[in-house]
């Protein structure tokens, strides 16, 4: 069963309790409009550490040049389909259909995390979005899935922890365990139930909030719960790439101890809702991917199904035209080419950011990198003040331009909420 399809088609969830998370507060990597933020002057390893995956049986590569770019719940039934996915820059599958032959991925040097036991799997996947359909609680699980029958006994009780515990008991010994959560952890539950979901069951975690396409997420009962007093979000506040970073940071903030395991980002590449307004645009996909990475994501999972719009498919990349595939390939190539930067330590304190911009600073050899994305929908300028000794101009990677930085300070324009700038400061001595 495609659990996400069952859940998204229903799209009716009852909020539980109020969150106190502030709008666009990405601790450690963002600034509020008009404020200058200077970070601590030291290096911080990526979440889990650079060699995190090597502790697991048949784990994902710890190669600094590898960054997981995954499809969610894809079908691996023929060589051509898997080769097509690889040509789009995909290197990992997170959950696959029951009829899948995972050796097809292995033969293409790709990786599989799956709830189906196979010799090829590189991780085990727990049931999806349990925090939404079973909710936080230790009640009795009937064994049913959403849409089949009542999942908890009695029906009105909460049994999400039980679902996770019983499912985890089926995980092969030594494999990394993956869990994805939804609006229960990100919006509806207070911190303590969210912490139990995030910390107790899996080695890699994520959450899927589809900010660009979800018809309900802007309401005071969902995304609007991030305000101190819940209210409906405006389109400018809600349909914003920076919110994908917020989702990553929400999960990271529930981690105890801090940064102890990887959080992956989730980005839709079609229209996950039958009643959604429109599919996500390619510039929104790119911005959502980079905002997730800026917030600390150690992998990206693409939701590859469309239940509305003109191309309804379980395989959006394979079925919905060459333009999307070509455009996503370019995004994935950009990420893959900078994988060593993304996997590098975070240098805190080297750059102060003045403007409504999310940014993270990476140190690779003698070079400094600033990954930055707009935190507001409107056009704006942001000033970057670098405390290191710069040897030359700042390169805007992939844009064919350099920026002068007299005295270690430079300013750049972010045209809209999808604006992403990736800067290389060669030979910066810190």
Indicate whether 177 and 215 sit together in one domain.
yes
Q: Tell me if 307 is assigned to some domain.
A: yes
Indicate whether 307 and 420 sit together in one domain.
no
Residue that is last in its domain, among 327, 342, 357: 342
Indicate whether 328 and 362 sit together in one domain.
no
Indicate whether 332 and 358 sit together in one domain.
no
Question: How far is it, in rounded angstroms, from Cα 93 to Cα 108?
Answer: 12
CA dihedral sign of residues 191, 150, 207, 139: positive
Calculate the average pLDDT of the chain: 90
pLDDT recorded at residue 131: 98
- Cα dihedral value 140, 145, 149, 155, nearest 10: 30
Residue that is last in its domain, among 342, 361, 379: 342
Q: Tell me if 44 is assigned to some domain.
A: no
Pairing verdict, β 177-181 and 124-125 = parallel
pLDDT recorded at residue 31: 40
Is 70 exceeded by the pLDDT of residue 38? no
Indicate whether 139 and 59 sit together in one domain.
yes
Overall average pLDDT of the 92-111 stretch:
97
Q: Tell me if 60 is assigned to some domain.
A: yes
Question: How far is it, in rounded angstroms, from Cα 186 to Cα 181?
Answer: 8
CA dihedral sign of residues 332, 338, 344, 347: negative
Indicate whether 260 and 361 sit together in one domain.
no
Looking at the whole model, is its pTM more than 0.75?
Answer: yes
pLDDT of 244-283, one tens digit each? 999 999 999 999 999 999 999 999 999 999 987 789 999 9
Question: How far is it, in rounded angstroms, from Cα 50 to Cα 9?
Answer: 39
- Cα dihedral value 193, 195, 196, 200, nearest 10: 170
Q: Tell me if 110 is assigned to some domain.
A: yes
Indicate whether 385 and 294 sit together in one domain.
no
- Cα dihedral value 98, 99, 105, 111, nearest 10: 0
- Which domain does 179 fall in, by range? 3-31+52-342
What total of structural domains would you count in the chain? Answer: 2
pLDDT recorded at residue 254: 98
Indicate whether 298 and 358 sit together in one domain.
no
Contact 368, 347 (CB under 8 A): yes
CA–centroid distance for 428 within its chain: 30
Lowest mean pLDDT among 12-26, 286-300, 415-429: 12-26
Is 90 exceeded by the pLDDT of residue 14? no
Q: Tell me if 45 is assigned to some domain.
A: no
pLDDT bracket for residue 388 (50, 70, 90): confident
Percent of the chain's residues with pLDDT above 70 = 90
Lowest mean pLDDT among 19-23, 180-184, 357-361: 19-23
Is 60 exceeded by the pLDDT of residue 358? yes
């Amino acid at each position: 069963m495609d659990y996400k399809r069952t859940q998204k088609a229903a799209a009716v969830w009852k909020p539980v309790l109020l969150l106190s998370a502030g709008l666009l507060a990405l601790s450690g990597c963002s600034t509020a409009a008009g404020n200058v933020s200077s970070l601590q002057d030291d290096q911080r390893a990526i979440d889990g550490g650079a060699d995190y995956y090597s502790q697991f049986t048949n784990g994902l590569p710890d190669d600094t040049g590898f960054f997981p770019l995954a499809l969610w719940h894809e079908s691996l039934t023929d060589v051509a389909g898997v080769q097509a996915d690889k040509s789009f820059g995909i290197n990992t599958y997170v959950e696959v259909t029951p009829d899948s032959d995972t050796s097809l991925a292995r033969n293409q040097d790709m990786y599989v995390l799956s709830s189906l036991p196979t010799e090829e799997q590189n991780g085990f996947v727990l049931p999806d979005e349990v925090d939404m359909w079973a909710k936080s609680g230790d009640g009795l699980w009937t064994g049913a899935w959403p849409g089949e029958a009542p999942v908890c006994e009695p029906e009105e009780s909460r049994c999400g922890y039980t679902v996770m515990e019983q499912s985890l008991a089926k995980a092969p010994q030594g494999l990394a365990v993956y869990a994805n959560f939804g609006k229960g952890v990100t919006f509806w539950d207070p911190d303590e139930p969210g912490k139990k979901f995030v910390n107790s069951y899996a080695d890699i975690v994520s959450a899927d909030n589809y900010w660009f396409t979800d018809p309900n997420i802007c309401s005071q009962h969902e995304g609007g719960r991030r305000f101190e007093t819940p209210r409906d979000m405006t389109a400018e506040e809600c349909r914003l790439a920076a919110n994908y970073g917020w989702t990553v940071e929400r999960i990271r903030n529930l981690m105890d101890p801090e940064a102890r395991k990887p959080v992956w980002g989730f980005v839709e590449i079609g229209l996950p809702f039958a009643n959604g307004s429109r599919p996500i645009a390619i510039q929104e996909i790119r911005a959502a991917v980079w905002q997730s990475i800026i917030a600390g994501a150690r992998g990206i999972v693409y939701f590859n199904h469309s239940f509305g719009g003109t191309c309804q498919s379980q395989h959006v990349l394979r079925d919905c035209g060459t333009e999307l595939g070509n455009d996503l390939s370019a995004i994935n190539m950009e990420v893959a080419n900078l994988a060593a930067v993304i996997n590098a330590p975070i240098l805190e304190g080297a750059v102060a950011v003045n403007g409504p911009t999310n940014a993270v600073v990476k140190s690779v050899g003698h070079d400094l990198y600033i990954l930055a994305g707009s935190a507001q929908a409107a056009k704006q300028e942001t000033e970057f003040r670098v405390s290191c000794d710069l040897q030359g101009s700042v390169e805007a990677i992939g844009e064919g331009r350099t920026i002068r930085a007299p005295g270690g300070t430079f300013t750049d324009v972010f045209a809209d909420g999808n604006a992403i700038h990736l800067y290389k400061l060669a030979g910066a001595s810190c």
